[in-house]
Amino acid sequence: MMSLVNPAANKPVERSWSRLCQDLWSLTFEASHVIALRAFAVAAGGAPAQIEIDRMIEEKLRALWALQSLFVTGALGFNAPAIATRSVAHYRKAVRANRKRLQSKASRGRAKAGRR
């Protein structure tokens, strides 16, 4: 196990590489799910599809800029394990929010289709 420092509490946090790998695997799985949900939304076409494409590009740029800002200010930490762990957490938060939004949107679409 490696020791990371939690800057907010100034306490060491134990974290292993296997935990980081698990977080990366989860991020990959969630991102794949978001890609599929977005593909269906875009395939439907029309104005909602263009809105989703624009939103996707904007979100990706915003997440990248935020991560760069965290890195430059030192908020990600000062060693490789801390930076990797916090970077994955940063992207998982954004991916999770997109998955929830897109799933809810897909559920509403299925409910509408069922009422017809």
pLDDT in tens, 16-71: 778 899 999 999 999 999 999 999 999 999 999 999 999 999 999 999 999 999 99
1 pLDDT band, cuts 50/70/90, is very low
Q: Is 5 helix (H, G, I), strand (E, B) or coil?
A: strand
pTM as predicted? 0.75
**CA dist., res. 79 & res. 98, Å (int):** 29
Q: Which domain holds residue 98?
A: 2-115
Exposure of 38 by Cβ count < 10 A (0-12 exposed, 13-18 middle, 19+ buried)? middle
Q: How many domains in the chain?
A: 1
CB-based contacts of 12: which residues, under 8 Å, 6+ apart?
3, 4, 5, 6
What are the tens digits of pLDDT across the range 4-13? 555 555 555 5
